[in-house]
Structure 1
Amino acid sequence: MSFVAHPTAEISPDATIGAGTRLWQHCIVLKGARIGRDCKLAHNVFVEGGVWIGDRVVIKDNVCLYDRIEIADDVFVGPNAVFTNVRNPRAHVSRKDVFEATRIARGVTIGANATIVCGNAVADYAMIGAGSVVTKDVPAYALMVGNPARRIGWVSAAGEILKGDLVCPRTGERYKTEGDALVRVS
């Protein structure tokens, strides 16, 4: 099984796209981009050549992914989320030699209209609230909101907000804190 693309999608023959992936209207995928299996890229998604996307990733409408962005498996990126790859852009100054990597780890959710500033990593299963601005690394399972984004709690791998006992109400999985981190124990 190969990928499926809407007739208006523009896909370089030198991009790698996994089986079962679907690309909708007006998607653009440049030479060198790598998109995994069973992904869904909604209307008007742009993927530059230096981007790596894992398997089972959902990217909603109007998202641009620029060089040096890595997205692991099972990530959800909400509509109009913004990623950057240079901190001090100027139209008249080339900065291609200082692009900073952004790494989004497995199972992360990025809400609608959130901004991820380049050079930061979002660890496994973190959840970034709609409209939040990530300006520093995000720990695993963190629930982040605001501008700048700050941790207001923890979420389970299933995306449920964890209360005081740190047990996922959906799966029964247990978690514990270790310093400023959360780890799954069962």
Structure 2
Amino acid sequence: MPVVNARIDASAELADPALVNVYGCTIGAGTRVGPFVEIQRGAVVGARCRIGANAFLCEGVTLEDDVAIGPGVMFTNDRHPRAVTAAGALMGPEDWTLETTRIGAGAVIGANATILCGLSIGPGARIAPGSVVTRDVPAGAHRAGVPAAPSHPAPHPSSLLTPVEAP
């Protein structure tokens, strides 16, 4: 698996360059990339991001700073994927339309989520593991399910404690 023609900040960490497929992309300062990750040409990864093992960031994906991508997260960039043209020829770059996706600063995308193309996930948004995101997600929102729908975050453990009355 190659690391080819990528602009990778010197402070970024690749789990093992032999275990990633990173080409023609940009990876920002302090970002950590896990094993068996593919980041394609034209993808942009901001500073201090964390990309879990087996994630796939295709052309057209932009992660702003401080984004966490869980293991096995998949992005798409073609709304109507096909193998061949109407004439039966294998499709080439000129035969489809690239759809971009932007993930806002501080967003978290849980393991095995799928993010369809042409979307924006706002800063600080949280996507639950296994979700399929089919629509834009506003800043700070939580989404879960297939298709992903509004959800409420789990309560913080400290909020589950019963207050003790003063003597």
Please confirm whether the aligned pair reaches a TM-score higher than 0.5, indicating the same fold.
Answer: yes
Q: CA deviation at 1:88?
A: 1.3
Q: CA deviation at 1:49?
A: 1.1
AA matched with 1:28: N
Unaligned runs of 5+ in 2: 86-90, 160-167
Structure 1 or 2: more helix by fraction: 2
**What RMSD in Å do the two structures reach over aligned CA positions?**
1.7
Unaligned runs of 5+ in 1: 1-8, 163-168, 170-186
Q: Is it true that 1:57 corresponds to 2:49 in the alignment?
A: yes
**Partner residue of 1:22?**
13
Deviations 1:24-55 (A, max 9, x none): 13111113x11000010001011111101100
Residues in 1 aligned to 2:29 and 2:126: alpha-carbon distance in whole angstroms: 23
The structure number with the bigger radius of gyration is: 2
The percent identity for this pair of structures is 37
Bigger shift: 99-108 or 16-25? 16-25
Deviations 1:108-155 (A, max 9, x none): 0000010000001000000000000100000011110011101113x6
Q: CA deviation at 1:22?
A: 0.7
Q: Which runs of 4+ in 1 moved over 6 A?
A: none
AA matched with 1:30: Y
Give the count of matched residue pairs: 148
Structure 1 or 2: more strand by fraction: 1
For the structure 1 residues 95 and 110, does the alpha-carbon distance in structure 2 shift closer, same or farther, using more than 3 Å as the test? farther
Residues in 1 aligned to 2:132 and 2:3: alpha-carbon distance in whole angstroms: 30
Residues in 1 aligned to 2:155 and 2:142: alpha-carbon distance in whole angstroms: 8
Q: CA deviation at 1:10?
A: 2.0
Residues in 2 aligned to 1:54 and 1:77: alpha-carbon distance in whole angstroms: 12
Point out which structure has higher relative CO (alpha carbons under 8 A, 6+ apart): 2
Q: TM-score normalised to the size of structure 2? A: 0.83
